[in-house]
A and B are shown apart, each in its own frame.
Chain A
Amino acid sequence: GQSLEQPSEVTAVEGAIVQINCTYQTSGFYGLSWYQQHDGGAPTFLSYNALDGLEETGRFSSFLSRSDSYGYLLLQELQMKDSASYFCAVSPGNTPLVFGKGTRLSVIA
């Protein structure tokens, strides 16, 4: 089976940097993804790591360590619009994504 652990809530100040961690246990692993979901909206894709290391996309970066079964999402220069829920998800390969329970990020002034 698969399980993912991520903090339920994080609060950060506008303009700051925040890191959302995700640890996983899975029987098969092809990659770690991150999705953003605003209240009342649908999840949208942010990033995907198949190999160890850091992937950068604008203000967002995602990191993966396969040996540690660990990854994180790094958000820089936080903006109020970044207030949302962030989900990590694993790709076991032969089935659709398995999602964590999500981290609710609140950005405060």
Chain B
Amino acid sequence: NAGVTQTPKFQVLKTGQSMTLQCAQDMNHEYMSWYRQDPGMGLRLIHYSVGAGITDQGEVPNGYNVSRSTTEDFPLRLLSAAPSQTSVYFCASASGQGVYSEQYFGPGTRLTVT
């Protein structure tokens, strides 16, 4: 199993540009999440999904959209990039009920917005 994969690994955007960060998992997990990590801030939840067709907002959703058309994929869209969105983005997945406690993280996408 590849686990959780993310593309791209690195990205530089100009202010105002849009892009999609890709996330896929091959573990048949129902639960998927997007976090951003900034220095000294820990991991903050952006959006999450409890299954195909179901998404919800986390702590810092503004400026981001998600969709979950399949169990495997959970892309994160930046609508109009801003320098405040410079961060490392992690996608994570978990299986079943009560297992939010064990999440599998992808390798991350390091995004810089200039």
Chain A interface (Cβ < 8 Å from any Cβ of B)? 8, 30-31, 33, 41-45, 48, 50, 87, 89, 91, 93, 95-102
Q: Is the CB of B90 within 8 A of A43?
A: yes
A97 → B minimal CB distance (Å): 6
Residue pair A45, B43 in contact (C-beta under 8 Å)? no
- How many residues of chain B get a CB closer than 8 Å to chain A's CBs? 26
Contact indicator A43/B106 (Cβ below 8 Å): no
CA distance A101 to B42 in the complex (A): 4
Chain B residues with Cβ below 8 Å from A33 are 101-102
| Given A42-B90, A96-B33: A31 touches B101 (CB 8 Å cut-off) | yes
Q: A49: shortest Cβ distance to chain B, in Å?
A: 9
Please, which residues of chain B bring their CB within 8 A of the CB of A50?
A: 101
Q: Is the CB of A87 within 8 A of B43?
A: yes
Using a CB–CB distance below 8 Å, which chain B residues touch chain A?
31, 33, 35, 40-45, 48, 56, 58-59, 90, 92, 94, 98, 100-108
17 A-B contact pairs sorted by A residue (CB < 8 Å): A8-B40, A33-B101, A42-B90, A43-B90, A43-B103, A43-B105, A44-B105, A93-B100, A95-B45, A97-B45, A97-B101, A98-B45, A99-B35, A99-B42, A99-B43, A99-B44, A102-B42
Instruction: Enumerate chain A residues within 8 angstroms of B94, measured Cβ to Cβ.
Output: 96
How far apart sit A89 and B40, CA to CA, in the bound complex (Å)? 15
- CB of A96 within 8 A of CB of B102, answer no
